[in-house]
Amino acid sequence: MVYSTNSARDRLIVELQARCGLRIGELLHLRLGDVSERRLTIQEPKSRKEAEIAFMPEQIANRLSEYVKGRGLQSDDRLFPICYSAARSLVRRLGANVHTVIAPHDLRRYSATYASRNGIPLEIVSKVILRHQDLKTTQVYLGKVSETEAIRWMDILHGK
């Protein structure tokens, strides 16, 4: 889905959710001043804390930097000045392009599942990627583990 985007903006919207675990509301409220190298400061997060920090992989941080340079944004400008319904429509359309029914929050869920299935400890998925207060909330995101996946992880853990 990431590769089916037609613009840097659309790709970044999808990647920041699917690879960094951002909620769509957090993403749409980001301002240039909230970006510092590979860190994103989430102002007024769902946790009701004053702020939270999200992290980006280097390649996304580089793409975001190029996007910002190309737009001439000022510190207080929103990175993605679109409304929630436009973002939701964008994600649905991009999903339809690859024959998938998807909503923005599914990308956040994907971020957690991908990290977990690649061996990232639950505590990191919970506290760093999703920024949840409680591990139980993260466990709901991760869903069920198939028998095939369970066997694969046993082989990884203990060898064949």
Q: What is the pLDDT of residue 152?
A: 81
Q: What is the CATH number of the domain that holds 97?
A: 1.10.443.10
Position 133 pLDDT exceeds 90: no
Range of the domain at 88: 2-158
Average pLDDT score over residue span 121-143: 87
Residues 79, 31: contact at Cβ < 8 Å? yes
Q: Which residue has the higher pLDDT, 127 or 45?
A: 127
Q: What is the pLDDT of residue 141?
A: 75
Considering Cα of 116, then 52, then 102, then 93, what sign does the dihedral take?
negative
Looking at the structure of the chain, the number of domains it has is 1
What are the tens digits of pLDDT across the range 8-60?
A: 999 999 999 999 999 999 999 999 999 999 999 999 888 788 899 999 999 99
Q: What is the pLDDT of residue 160?
A: 73
Q: What is the pLDDT of residue 43?
A: 94
Q: What is the pLDDT of residue 83?
A: 96
Q: Output the six-digit token pair for 7.
A: 């613009």
pLDDT band per the 50, 70, 90 thresholds, residue 136: confident
What are the tens digits of pLDDT across the range 67-114?
A: 999 999 999 999 999 999 999 999 999 999 999 999 999 999 999 989
What are the tens digits of pLDDT across the range 90-101?
A: 999 999 999 999
- Mean residue pLDDT of the chain comes to 91
Q: What is the pLDDT of residue 156?
A: 83
